[in-house]
């Protein structure tokens, strides 16, 4: 009897959770902590960040909202790193803010001064603009500290396999070389 009651409560909770998520309208929107407005040709564009200050190797969302909305406009963003490397991405709707363009959960890899270069095409023509952003150092301990446990386990496993191989020595067993 007790087991049936627990199963009924668990089933009721499982059925209620998706209903609550649907009632809320899907995933939560991005909370913009910091925003700046830049001119991209004739278009003022608000660039919003979900984390501020921005740190290297730390995930964040970057939102791009042109004045008048994104309807009828297309664009690209070029991420130019401090070392000079660049990557151009087409601006697409942000999955959690459908009325804006955005980069969802992106982590910029190196510390220093980055440049976000925007290129927009719309009914009033095309334009370009850029926003400099300084990334602070990577938070937390050095990355090697996270690798140490995995390397220790791998080393122990290799040592264990070596000992097992040496003890078994399959090539020296009589049965290995016999044809009968």
Beta bridge partners, 37, equal 46
The first and second tokens of residue 133, run together, are 């952003």
Q: What is the mean pLDDT of the chain?
A: 85
Prediction pTM value: 0.69
Is 124 domain-assigned? yes
- Supply the range of the domain harboring residue 122: 34-135
The residue-averaged pLDDT of 63-78 equals 94
pLDDT of residue 145 exceeding 70, the answer is yes
Let me know if residue 13 belongs to a domain. no
Q: Residue 16 pLDDT more than 60?
A: no
The terminus-to-terminus CA distance of the chain in angstroms comes to 63
The candidate with the shortest Cα–Cα distance to 63, out of 23, 28, 92, 25, is: 92
Query: What is the structure's pLDDT at 91?
Result: 95
User: Is residue 49 assigned to a domain?
Assistant: yes
Any domain includes 66: yes
CATH of the domain at 120: 2.60.40.1930
Give me the long-range contacts of 48-56 (CB less than 8 A, separation at least 24). 53/134, 53/136, 54/108, 54/133, 54/134, 54/135, 54/136, 55/135, 55/136, 55/137, 55/138, 55/139, 56/108, 56/109, 56/110, 56/111, 56/135, 56/136, 56/137, 56/138
Q: Is 4 a member of any domain?
A: no
In the chain, the number of structural domains is 1
State residue 21's pLDDT score.
43
Give yes or no for a contact between 94 and 101, defined as CB atoms under 8 angstroms apart. Answer: yes
87, 76 contact by CB (below 8 A): no
Residue 99 falls inside a structural domain:
yes
User: Residue 111 and residue 124: Cα distance in Å, rounded?
Assistant: 36
Instruction: Identify the residue with better confidence: 10 or 42.
Output: 42
């Amino acid at each position: 009897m007790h087991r049936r009651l627990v199963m009924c409560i668990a089933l009721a909770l499982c059925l209620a959770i998706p209903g609550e998520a649907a009632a809320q309208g899907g995933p939560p929107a991005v909370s913009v902590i910091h925003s700046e407005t830049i001119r991209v040709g004739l278009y003022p564009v608000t660039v919003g960040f979900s984390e501020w200050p921005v740190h290297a190797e730390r995930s964040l969302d970057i939102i791009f909202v042109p004045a008048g909305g994104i309807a009828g406009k297309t664009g690209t963003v070029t991420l130019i790193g401090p070392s000079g490397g660049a990557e151009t991405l087409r601006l697409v709707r942000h999955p959690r803010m459908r009325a804006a363009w955005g980069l969802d959960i992106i982590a910029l890899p190196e510390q220093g001064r980055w440049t976000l270069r925007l290129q927009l095409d719309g009914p009033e023509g095309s334009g370009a603009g850029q926003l400099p952003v300084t990334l602070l150092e990577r938070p937390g301990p050095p990355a090697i500290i996270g690798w140490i446990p995995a390397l220790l386990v791998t080393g122990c496993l290799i040592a264990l396999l070596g000992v097992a191989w040496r003890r078994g020595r399959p090539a020296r067993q009589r049965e290995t070389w016999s044809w009968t």
